[in-house]
Amino acid sequence: MEGQRTCYPPLRRVLVSGGTHGNELGGVYVVRHGAPCLSVSSVCVQTVVTEPVLSGQSGLSVSSVCVQTVVTEPVLSGQSADSPYEVRRALELNQIFGPKGSDQAVDFICDLHNTTANTQACLICDSQSDYLSLHAARYLQSLSKQPCRILLMKRNTPSFSFMSIGKHNMTIEMGPQPPGVIRADVYSKTLRLLQCLLDWIELFNTGAVIPAGSVQCFEVDQKIDYPRDSDGQLTACIHPQLQDRDFEPLNPEDPIFQPFSGGDPLVFGGEETVYPVFVNECAYYSKGIAFWTTKKITISLPAITVTQK
């Protein structure tokens, strides 16, 4: 993409959100205490706890929170006073910060999450065609002194997440941190990444040309479930050789599950090396996911700059 340049309007409204999954407290406390102290001159930074009612319920599972699945046309047109709280809250957020797909929607949403998996700092982007968000993620990655990977959602998959309300978006996912817990190191790392993101947005808004380059991403591929019996109960757990090895190579015939009954471990049946992510995430047990496999890809990014009036 040498010589190409893509222009985007300035990012004037930036939303920092936490608590989309009510029991992930890192984002909740960054939004309540850290983010309001962050500012850049060219940006109006707004904050929101997306699930204020549920964020204090440490026993809440992710599967019971519906905000991420209701920003869709059928639900938007079918709300009523009897709709579940999560549905009504999602519609309220879409009205305040959207509507999704409109010119009035916020320019950039940064949604803060935690995971029980050993992801360390993980930056999640929805689309490989959103060069602005990928450039921002690349910048954060370049400044990080610790592992910081970019996770790309599966291509050609519609996004119904809360952050898809914004014109551009990024999730900062930090792990490991148990649900209902706030760790000082996770809090500090999240706040540091958020400040770096706002600094990059300020640089972009001033008219600087962000040079072309390439970025390594892990693209979501397939979900792998635990072995289960006829009643749906687990018959094995994550093998010690896989536990805490998010983003590390997983080769064919590598052990992935350790049967409760003893015997030989169950091995990965894929035909090529993949990179597992969200290994043994507690919220995924009920979703039938032991981990996701990803493929390592490199994306070429054109130079970008702000649209000149």
Residue 113 assigned as binding residue: yes
**Domains: count for the chain:** 2
The structure tokens listed for 309 are 């009036």
pLDDT over 90 percentage in the chain: 68
Q: In terms of domains, do 176 and 254 share one?
A: no
Domain containing 247 — which CATH number? 2.20.25.160
For residue 82, give its domain range. Answer: 5-217+299-306
What is the tens place of the pLDDT at every residue in 265-282?
999 999 999 999 999 999
Q: In terms of domains, do 202 and 246 share one?
A: no
Q: In terms of domains, do 208 and 243 share one?
A: no
Q: In terms of domains, do 192 and 237 share one?
A: no
Q: In terms of domains, do 240 and 213 share one?
A: no
Q: In terms of domains, do 150 and 275 share one?
A: no
Give the per-residue pLDDT at 95.
85
Confidence of residue 38 (pLDDT cuts 50, 70, 90): confident
Who wins on pLDDT, 38 or 142? 142
DSSP 232: S
Give the per-residue pLDDT at 82.
66
Who wins on pLDDT, 162 or 28? 28
Which residue numbers are catalytic?
A: 173
Q: In terms of domains, do 143 and 43 share one?
A: yes
6/302 Cα distance (integer angstroms): 7
Give the per-residue pLDDT at 296.
98
What is the tens place of the pLDDT at every residue in 206-259?
999 999 999 999 999 999 999 999 999 999 999 999 999 999 999 999 999 999
215/300 Cα distance (integer angstroms): 7
Residue 77 has pLDDT above 90, yes or no: no
278/275 Cα distance (integer angstroms): 10
Give the per-residue pLDDT at 41.
85
What is the tens place of the pLDDT at every residue in 153-194?
877 665 667 778 999 999 999 999 999 999 999 999 999 999
Q: In terms of domains, do 103 and 242 share one?
A: no
Domain containing 22 — which CATH number? 3.40.630.10
Q: In terms of domains, do 179 and 250 share one?
A: no
Give the per-residue pLDDT at 92.
83
Q: How many CB atoms lie within 10 A of CB 279?
A: 25
Q: In terms of domains, do 50 and 190 share one?
A: yes
Residue 21 assigned as binding residue: yes
143/44 Cα distance (integer angstroms): 24
Find the mean pLDDT for residues 289-306.
98
DSSP for 51-63, please give it: -TTTTT-TT--GG
Who wins on pLDDT, 186 or 61? 186
49/81 Cα distance (integer angstroms): 22
pTM: 0.89
Question: How many CA within 13 A on the CB side of residue 273?
Answer: 7
Q: In terms of domains, do 99 and 191 share one?
A: yes
Residue 68 has pLDDT above 90, yes or no: no
Residue 239 assigned as binding residue: no
How do 5-8 and 303-306 pair as beta strands? parallel
Who wins on pLDDT, 121 or 55? 121
Give the per-residue pLDDT at 65.
36
Residue 69 has pLDDT above 60, yes or no: no
Q: In terms of domains, do 181 and 38 share one?
A: yes
